[in-house]
Amino acid sequence: MLAGCSSWPKDYSDLYKREGCWKGETFGEMLRDRAQKQGNRIAVTCRDRNVSYAELDNRADHLAVGLQELGIKKMDRVVVQLPNLIEFFEVCFALFRLGALPVFALPSHRSSEINYFCEFAEAVAYIIPDNHAGFDHRTLARSAKDKNEKLKVIVTGDAEEFVNLADLYIDSPKKVEAKVASSDIAFLQLSGGSTGLSKLIPRTHDDYIYSLRVSAEICQLDKDSVYLAVLPIAHNYPLSSPGIFGTLYAGGRVVLSSGPSPDEAFPLIEKQGVTITALVPPLALRWLDAISTRDHDLSSLQVLQVGGAKFSAEAARRIYPAFGCKLQQVFGMAEGLVNYTRLNDPEEIIINTQGRPMSKYDEIRIVDEEDRDVEQGKVGHLLTRGPYTIRGYYKAEEHNAKAFTLDGFYRTGDLVSMTSTGYIVVEGRDKDQINRGGEKIAAEEVENHLLAHDAVHDVAIVSMSDDYLGERSCAFVIPRQKAPTAKELKQFLKERGLATFKIPDRIEFTNSFPKTPLGKVSKKALRQIISDKLNNRITLK
């Protein structure tokens, strides 16, 4: 086991094995098996390129040799920041075969996040595209290399001074045969974060592949399924619920879209015969708006998943009439637990709930402030434990003591209620996080950056409700003598290398913060202030 990771107590791991959840399979073996059974079928389509299971399997083997020759070995951490490209698959499976661990960064992360991931995970390598969405990722690599000159940077495209990924595919008669156990950590996923920086989430082959198997079953995937990936595939939702890996598990085909707009996605759905895709609520709204004015034939689409943030019942009700396909709500988290509405659930359940746990081994508790179970139907804090929910974050002993109960339940930070039939309704949040249309912002992380500005005395960041994104972020700033402008502060954050989605949408200057009876800053009161202001009820000095 990788140092800094907590595993399941033996009675639980025995149970999950005995019950057939963990079948002892690794990612490397999973791909090999599909390549042997259905080598000629297409695994991934990206623009005009189709890669079969056999080719993907071979390419992963070749790349594993090249990565090994570069010095990457079992247990090494490698920060992977690749957008929706076939190389993402090749890199992941090559690393899985080596027993090295991808750390999944998102394409929108910038130097502040990347430097932290590289440093905290003690990464030996960083894999990037040359340019993506108008941004040159090699600038991030230079900054990371300034901090650690030994870091190996691998680039797909124009590598400039770095190693070119294309040169690492080595057709050697000797395959990489690292001994990888299914109980090993396969990769580190990112948490949305609530206290300071994102935590890293260690997921094993056993637990993740189990979640893929159940997800694929629930979503009724098979060899004829075509999954369209419009969200960035490194995120846990399009990666695994059932996402790209669940599709490969089922032997289906993944189609990669470079972006989520209807202009890119609708023609792909028509041309590729897409059967299932996954969206966050703001995108679902955008697609709903677009559909009436386009004449693409989307009749192949059977399931439209919406998750990552609360989807309003009003919008949910419009999906079937507009798309003629089933809506599936998905409420999940990179730490583990995923809830789905089932495809044959009654309409009212699909529209009004966020689904129920995917596994009968998921344990759910909904509790009050003192960890006592609330009455059925009442709102409380969601705690969970199960065969694919972690027992601790990577190298975070102190935080783990708060984020998990003594008996191993993960405190999700979500406020939920449960229907009499066991479906979960997300009612709110009790974590210092903003969910900006599915993108998670840890308030404290951004507050710490702002506190580094000379003219900022104190700061508190809260969510403000937004019709399109659900929530946007608002920073309340108490300035020192000479107040900075909002523009200056935003520029300051950008220069510190913060991902754009974390830069506050609005900055309000104030002289003091409302306090709770205990003297802490009352974020609840701040949310009320900005809400009243947006509704023109008060004017803020």
- Contact between 89 and ligand J2J per CB under 6 A: no
Name the nearest CA neighbour of 438 among 402, 474, 409, 471.
471
Give dist(CA 248, CA 92) in Å, integer. 13
Which of the ranges 2-10, 41-49, 255-263, 325-333 carries the binding residues for ligand J2J, by CB under 6 A? 325-333
- Contact between 316 and ligand J2J per CB under 6 A: no
Nearer of residues 60 and 188 to ligand J2J, judged by Cβ: 188
Helix, strand or coil for residue 177?
coil
- Contact between 416 and ligand J2J per CB under 6 A: no
The interface with ligand J2J within residues 151-180 (CB under 6 A) comprises: none
Name the nearest CA neighbour of 399 among 200, 184, 202.
200
Q: Which of 61, 90, 414, 508 binds ligand J2J (CB under 6 A)?
A: 414
Do 311 and 340 touch, CB atoms closer than 8 A? no
Binding track over 5-34 against ligand J2J, x by CB under 6 A: ------------------------------
- Min dist CB 308 to ligand J2J, Å, is 4
Adjacent-strand bridge partners of 464:
472
HSE value, Cβ hemisphere, 13 Å, CA-based, for 343: 13
- Residue labelled with tokens 């405190």: 411
- Residue labelled with tokens 């791991």: 13
- Contact between 330 and ligand J2J per CB under 6 A: yes
The residue type at 508: E
Name the nearest CA neighbour of 83 among 47, 57, 42, 50.
47
Q: Which of 333, 424, 446, 503 binds ligand J2J (CB under 6 A)?
A: 333
Nearer of residues 266 and 410 to ligand J2J, judged by Cβ: 410
Q: Which of 304, 426, 450, 469 binds ligand J2J (CB under 6 A)?
A: 426
Which of the ranges 99-107, 304-312, 395-403, 533-541 carries the binding residues for ligand J2J, by CB under 6 A? 304-312
Which residues neighbour 27 within 8 Å (Cβ) at sequence distance 6 or greater?
92, 93, 96, 186, 205, 208, 209, 245
Binding track over 337-356 against ligand J2J, x by CB under 6 A: -x---------------x--
The residue type at 206: D
Pairing state of beta strands 200-204 and 185-190?
antiparallel
- Contact between 140 and ligand J2J per CB under 6 A: no
- Contact between 331 and ligand J2J per CB under 6 A: yes
- Min dist CB 57 to ligand J2J, Å, is 26
Cβ atoms within 10 Å of 351's Cβ, excluding its own: 21
- Min dist CB 175 to ligand J2J, Å, is 32
User: Quick one: tokens of 464?
Assistant: 């403000």
The interface with ligand J2J within residues 489-518 (CB under 6 A) comprises: none
Binding track over 175-204 against ligand J2J, x by CB under 6 A: -----------------x------------
- Contact between 240 and ligand J2J per CB under 6 A: yes
Q: Which of 93, 104, 187, 237 binds ligand J2J (CB under 6 A)?
A: 237
The interface with ligand J2J within residues 452-471 (CB under 6 A) comprises: none
Element (H, E) at 34: helix 27-38
User: Quick one: tokens of 203?
Assistant: 């997921």
Which of the ranges 148-156, 314-322, 324-332, 356-364 carries the binding residues for ligand J2J, by CB under 6 A? 324-332
What's the DSSP call for residue 167?
G
Nearer of residues 99 and 307 to ligand J2J, judged by Cβ: 307
Which of the ranges 131-139, 234-242, 342-350, 384-392 carries the binding residues for ligand J2J, by CB under 6 A? 234-242
Long-range contacts of 301-304 (CB under 8 A, 24+ apart): 301/269, 301/274, 301/275, 301/276, 301/277, 301/325, 302/275, 302/276, 302/326, 303/219, 303/220, 303/275, 303/276, 303/277, 303/327, 303/328, 303/343, 304/276, 304/277, 304/279, 304/328
User: Quick one: tokens of 207?
Assistant: 């637990």
- Contact between 76 and ligand J2J per CB under 6 A: no
Angstrom distances, CA of residue 174 to CA of 94, 101, 165: 14, 22, 20
- Contact between 236 and ligand J2J per CB under 6 A: yes
- Contact between 213 and ligand J2J per CB under 6 A: no
Binding track over 374-413 against ligand J2J, x by CB under 6 A: --------------------------------------x-
Residues making contact with ligand J2J (CB under 6 A): 192, 236-237, 240-241, 307-310, 329-334, 338, 354, 412, 414, 426, 429, 435, 440
